[in-house]
Amino acid sequence: MWAGYGLFWSQWRERFVETGALAPSSHHLARSMAAPLTRRPPAPIRVLEAGAGTGVFTEELLRQMHAGDRLDLYEINPRFCEYLEARLNRMRWRERGLEVCLHRDDVLRADLGQGFDFIVCGLPFNNFAPPLVAEILHLLLDSLNEGGVFSYFEYLALRDLRQWFLRSGPEHERLRAIGEIMRGVLSRHEIRRDEVWLNFPPAAAHHLMRRPSAAAVTSA
């Protein structure tokens, strides 16, 4: 556990835009993010995790998965990939008949297509340019099967607080545009929201289901 915290801290300092957090997510947040899998169909499912980090969500996803299921993990940070691969080697997913594939790549460069029953995203949207946020959300929503669920999280009120302190300027406008994109997506697609206070910082897990208007995501 402490190795994971130390790795997050070092990567936050070296690669802030890609990391976006001082510490790994808590197990409480991981359970909220993986909650849709508790209502999974009996047939084998495909699960995608974008921005797998050190594997906190990964471990909870694997706990909920059954024999015949497949999990695709995307992580661009090479240090996280090394840590995650070692963590995966300690899990008994092969013995349980699961298929796991770790992609050391940007999920935007992947030819995902449709076919995922559940998607979990740990990417730090508030660190990105608004067009990139819209592109990622569009890609992941469009990659869901009918009835599939896409889950992501953000820290409670953090974006609004940063906007309030900045008051004006390019960074204020960037955060404002991201907020507009997120509100638009949530108003069309959100089916559930869980507040998780036992996390640092406290966070909200958003669960979305693809609607016909998914292509309407814009870059504000």
How sure is the predictor about 114, in pLDDT bands with cuts at 50, 70 and 90?
Answer: confident
What tens digit of pLDDT does each residue of 148-206 get? 999 999 988 676 666 656 666 888 888 889 999 999 999 999 999 999 999 988 999 99
Per-domain residue ranges of the chain:
2-209
CA angle 51, 52, 58 (to 5 degrees): 145
CB 138 within 8 A of CB 217: yes
How sure is the predictor about 33, in pLDDT bands with cuts at 50, 70 and 90?
Answer: very high
What tens digit of pLDDT does each residue of 64-113 get? 999 999 999 999 988 889 989 998 999 889 999 999 999 999 999 888 87
Please indicate whether residue 166 or residue 9 has the higher confidence score (pLDDT). Answer: 166
What tens digit of pLDDT does each residue of 16-26 get? 444 445 567 89
The confidence score (pLDDT) of residue 65 equals 96
The confidence score (pLDDT) of residue 164 equals 58
Q: Is the peptide bond before 212 cis (omega within 30 degrees of 0)?
A: no
Q: Which residue has the tokens 């990105």?
A: 128
Cα–Cα distance measured from residue 76 to residue 95, given in angstroms and rounded to the nearest whole number: 27
Cα–Cα distance measured from residue 6 to residue 112, given in angstroms and rounded to the nearest whole number: 32
The confidence score (pLDDT) of residue 7 equals 57
Q: Which CATH number is 2-209's, of 3.20.20.140, 3.40.50.1000, 3.40.50.970, 3.40.50.150?
A: 3.40.50.150
**Long-range contacts, 179-187 (Cβ 8 Å, 24+):** 180/220, 181/130, 181/133, 181/134, 181/137, 181/217, 181/218, 181/219, 181/220, 182/125, 182/133, 182/154, 184/216, 184/217, 184/218, 184/220, 185/137, 185/141, 185/217
Strand, coil or helix: 123 = coil
Burial 39-73 (b: 16+ CB within 10 A, else e): ebeeebbbbbbbbbbbbbbbbbbbebbeeebbbbb
Where is 204: in which H helix or E strand?
strand 203-209
CB 91 within 8 A of CB 122: no
Over 80: is that where the pLDDT of 53 sits? yes
Query: Distance between alpha carbon 158 and the CA centroid of its chain, in Å?
Result: 17
